[in-house]
Structure 1
């Protein structure tokens, strides 16, 4: 059992980040219950929510959001969890993040959006989800 729940390894990963990457919801809840920092960032500026999204861990995303994690944190390149979920085509992750209020129009430093990533990586269903959310946000539904 981890003594200090916010201890970071050489990559800046906390036990919560590792649990989110693995989709271990029980560990996520245990760590949060013991005071894990939901917004702790790795050396790349990613939070547990970023790692859950990048690894297609929808249940982990829900657990983190239910515990109060910010839905649109930015990493060092300004990626949001939604962008990472779209990049890997995790529709359930994208839906959960959008339902929680993720901004489908957010842009990273180079101007890419979640839509850019879904399109570039050939995820048509993800693309449709994001387009619908973008239309709703811009009022052109």
Structure 2
């Protein structure tokens, strides 16, 4: 068992980030109950939510969001978790993030969006989910 739940390794990864990468929702809940900082950042500025999204771990995403994680944190390159989920074509992750209020129109510094990643990596179902969310958001603006 980890004594200090916010200890970071050489990459800035905390036990919570490691649990998010593997999708271990039970460990995530345990770490949060023991005071883990869900907004702690790795050396690349990624939170546990970024890692859960990049690894297609929808249960971890749900657990973090239910615990109050910020839905659209930016890493040092301005990636949001939604962009990472779209990049890897995890539709359940994309749907979970969008339902929680992730911004489908968010842009990186160079203008890439979640839609850009879904399209570039050949994820047509993900592309459809994001396109619908973008239209809905644009219609409500």
If the TM-score is normalised by the length of the shorter chain, which range does it land in?
Answer: over 0.9
2:83 is paired with a residue of what secondary structure?
helix
Give the aligned partner of residue 128 of structure 1.
Answer: 128
In the alignment, the residues of structure 2 paired with residue 67 and residue 54 of structure 1 have an alpha-carbon distance, to the nearest angstrom, of 19
RMSD (Å), alpha carbons: 0.7
* TM-score computed with the length of structure 1 as normaliser: 0.98
The total of aligned residue pairs comes to 140
In the alignment, the residues of structure 2 paired with residue 110 and residue 54 of structure 1 have an alpha-carbon distance, to the nearest angstrom, of 20
In the alignment, the residues of structure 2 paired with residue 34 and residue 8 of structure 1 have an alpha-carbon distance, to the nearest angstrom, of 16
In the alignment, the residues of structure 2 paired with residue 111 and residue 9 of structure 1 have an alpha-carbon distance, to the nearest angstrom, of 32
Where do 5+ consecutive residues of structure 1 fail to align?
none
In the alignment, the residues of structure 2 paired with residue 109 and residue 40 of structure 1 have an alpha-carbon distance, to the nearest angstrom, of 22
Report the Cα offset of residue 110 of structure 1. 1.1
Alignment of 1:94-113 (within 5 A): 94-113=94-113
Give the aligned partner of residue 17 of structure 1.
Answer: 17
In the alignment, the residues of structure 2 paired with residue 105 and residue 25 of structure 1 have an alpha-carbon distance, to the nearest angstrom, of 28
Alignment of 1:49-128 (within 5 A): 49-128=49-128
Give the aligned partner of residue 5 of structure 1.
Answer: 5
2:64 is paired with a residue of what secondary structure?
helix
Query: Which runs of 4 or more aligned residues in structure 1 lie more than 4 Å from their structure 2 counterparts after TM superposition?
Result: none
